[in-house]
Amino acid sequence: MSGWTRRVEEALGTAVASFAPLAGGCVGEVYRARLSDGRDIVVKVDGRAEPRLDIEGRMLSFLAETGTIPVPEVLHASPRLLAMTLLPGGSRFSPAAEAHAAELLAALHAVRGAAHGLPWDTLIGGLPQPNAPCASWVDFYRDRRLLPMADRALEEGALPRGMHRRLAAFCGRLDGWLEEPEHPSLLHGDVWTTNVLAVGGRVTGFLDPAVYFGHPEVELAFITLFHTFGEAFFGAYGALRPVRPGFFELRRDIYTLYPLLVHVRLFGASYLSGVDNTLRRHGF
């Protein structure tokens, strides 16, 4: 770690007293660093050929500027090195913490965008996430989310060709099932359990975002897929931003296809059954 220690010291202008590994993160290695002035911070390092930690830093700063959800303060962001404040908390959520998470995400989803997407591309789990703006949500979800992720999974040998054909045919029918939102909403994009921290009944931070403007239902679907939050969350969220009929019965499964394809690429064939089940349920 001596090389990274020097880089942190050069970036922050402060000596580093110690490094200790932390769990989590799909990209690079994660450490807890104690600085000579007594502060504890989180440091991510990425020694791969094409590091992109600067994009994660940009996403966190973008969220921070909205003032809607708590995120770590970015102290330094470059492709190989990301330093940020250490937030307290763990990933066990009381009903009060779930309700607080609902308040925070409802406020985030109230942030309006001019179009679906972003002027710049982001990442999800370290994978490129194209965000070229699009006026139609259905077109954006098909052409910037499902098809690009499926195409890359096919190229990498993670998605069988037959399933790719079925998914492409399914995408041609999306406008028969999905709805356009009232407006493009700012999304965290990756709200699963270890990306949220809480202490008692309060959420203290959201980590590892995959931000863009889109339909809030895709965020809610992601939350149900990995059981991040339960009834307390959805009761509180629905009181603030009512969920339209048909989400839980129909659209949720369509929206979970995207994180499932991400997981197919990152973690392998065990996630193909979820893709297959949704396609079969819709006649493909």
% of the chain with per-residue pLDDT over 70: 98
Looking at the structure, do residues 139 and 244 belong to the same domain, yes or no? yes
Question: Is 35 a domain residue?
Answer: yes
Tell me the C-alpha distance between 76 and 11, whole Å: 7
Active site residues: 190
Please report which confidence band the pLDDT of residue 275 belongs to, taking 50, 70 and 90 as the band edges.
Answer: very high
Task: Using the 3D structure, point to which of 61, 85, 109 is the last residue of a domain.
Answer: 85
Could you tell me if 240 and 167 lie in one domain?
yes
DSSP string of 209-267, one letter each residue: ---EEE-HHHHHHHHHHTT-S-HHHHHHHHHHSPPPTTIIIIIHHHHHHHHHHHHHHHH
Q: List the domain range (segments joined by +) for residue 75.
A: 2-85
Quote the pLDDT of residue 119: 96
Specify if 90 maps to a domain.
no
State yes or no: pLDDT of 259 exceeds 70: yes
Span 45-85, pLDDT tens digits: 988 888 999 999 999 999 999 999 999 999 999 999 999 99
45 and 130, same domain (yes or no): no
161 and 209 share one domain: yes
Counting beta carbons within 10 angstroms of the beta carbon of residue 244, is it exposed (0 to 12), middle (13 to 18) or buried (19 or more)? exposed
User: Looking at the structure, do residues 148 and 198 belong to the same domain, yes or no?
Assistant: yes
End-to-end Cα distance, the chain: 50
Do both 54 and 190 map to the same domain? Answer: no
Assess if residue 239 is contained within a domain: yes
Residues 276, 211 share a domain: yes
pLDDT tens digits, residue range 227-242? 999 999 999 999 999 9
Domain boundary among 35, 52, 85: 85
Q: Does position 1 have pLDDT exceeding 60, yes or no?
A: no
- Average model confidence (pLDDT) across the chain: 95
Last residue of a domain, one of 51, 85, 119: 85
Specify whether 133 is located in the same domain as 205: yes
**38 in a domain, yes or no?**
yes
In total, how many domains does the chain have? Answer: 2
pLDDT band of residue 27 (cuts 50, 70, 90) is low
- The packing angle between helices 272-281 and 161-171, to 10°, is 40
Tens of pLDDT, residue by residue over 108-157, are: 999 999 999 999 999 999 999 999 999 999 999 999 999 999 999 999 99
Residue 178 and residue 54 share a domain: no
Assess whether 34 and 144 both reside in one domain. Answer: no
CATH code, domain with 39: 3.30.200.20
Q: In terms of Cα–Cα distance, which of 259, 115, 254 is closest to 173?
A: 254
User: Could you tell me the CATH number of the domain that includes residue 175?
Assistant: 3.90.1200.10
CB atoms within 10 A of CB 101: 25
Whether 40 maps to a domain, the answer reads yes
Q: What is the pLDDT of residue 6?
A: 87
